[in-house]
Chains A and B, each alone.
Chain A
Amino acid sequence: QMQLQESGPGLVKPSQTLSLTCTVSGVSISTGGYYWTWIRQLPGTGLEWIGYIYYTGSTFYNPSLESRLAMSVDTSENHFSLKLTSVTAADTAVYYCAGTKGGITPDYWGQGTLVTVSS
């Protein structure tokens, strides 16, 4: 059974870089078939797809965030990561990592981690 767990700072200062890691257990991240995904939920609102990365390093980003976004995968540590630069209060959200089967079915999710952007 696949499990995912987000980790990273819960508080980031404006203009700095938000960095999160998602550790995957129960399956090798390099097995293939899954796209490793980041999704966020802004306070009181709905869900926003940030992007995903395949184990080969191929990435697919939301154009609304692409200029500030970088994802990476570490197959030796079985985790993948998100970096979002130049954050503002508008980036305050619960960030989820997920495994998206075939790139179309997000069937495994982490529990989510709240990141607050504030000085």
Chain B
Amino acid sequence: DIRMTQSPSSLSASVGDRVTITCRASQRIRSYLNWFQQKPGKAPKLLIYSASTLQSGVPSRFSGSGSGTDFTLTISGLQPEDFATYYCQQSYSTPQTFGQGTQLAIK
């Protein structure tokens, strides 16, 4: 299985900050990388697919980059509704696997 490692596991930030979350794959996955946001009691919500394509309806302050093994999710100008847990997922091969998550909290 391809192992996905996110860092940091948690971080705190303030409204208006720019934050970056990284995701590393244990082997090359080209651009088969998705990013999700999850709030308590809710299903994950797709933010970014194919490493850098913004899902319809997702604010443009979210952006993704990377290919191969190293990927980043950036949120520019944090809003109160952005405080949540973020997951990366590789869809290059089955079983598809997720990172362990990054909890983004208000400072």
Contacts and interface: CB of A to CB of B under 8 A. Distances in A.
A49 B42 CA distance: 17
A18 B77 CA distance: 44
A61 B32 CA distance: 19
A111 B48 CA distance: 20
Interface residues of A, number: 22
B contacts with A: majority SS: loop
Interface string A41-71: 0000111110100000000111110000000
B91 A103 contact: yes
Contact of A107 (B55, B96, B101): B55
A30 B107 CA distance: 47
Contact of A47 (B1, B42, B87, B91): B87
A109 B43 contact: yes
B87 A46 contact: yes
Given A96-B43, A111-B43, A112-B43, A105 B91 contact: yes
- The interface centre, meaning the residue of A48, A106, A107, A110 with most chain B CB atoms within 10 A of its CB, is A106
Question: Dominant SS at the A interface?
Answer: strand
A104 interface: yes
A100 B32 CA distance: 13
B103 to A, nearest CB: 11
Given A47-B44, A60-B94, A96-B43, A105 B99 contact: no
Contacts of B42: 111
Contact of A105 (B1, B46, B87, B101): B46
Given A47-B101, A112-B43, 11 more contacts: A45-B100, A47-B89, A47-B98, A62-B94, A64-B95, A103-B91, A104-B50, A105-B34, A105-B49, A109-B43, A109-B45
Interface of B: 1, 32, 34, 42-46, 49-50, 55, 87, 89, 91, 94-101
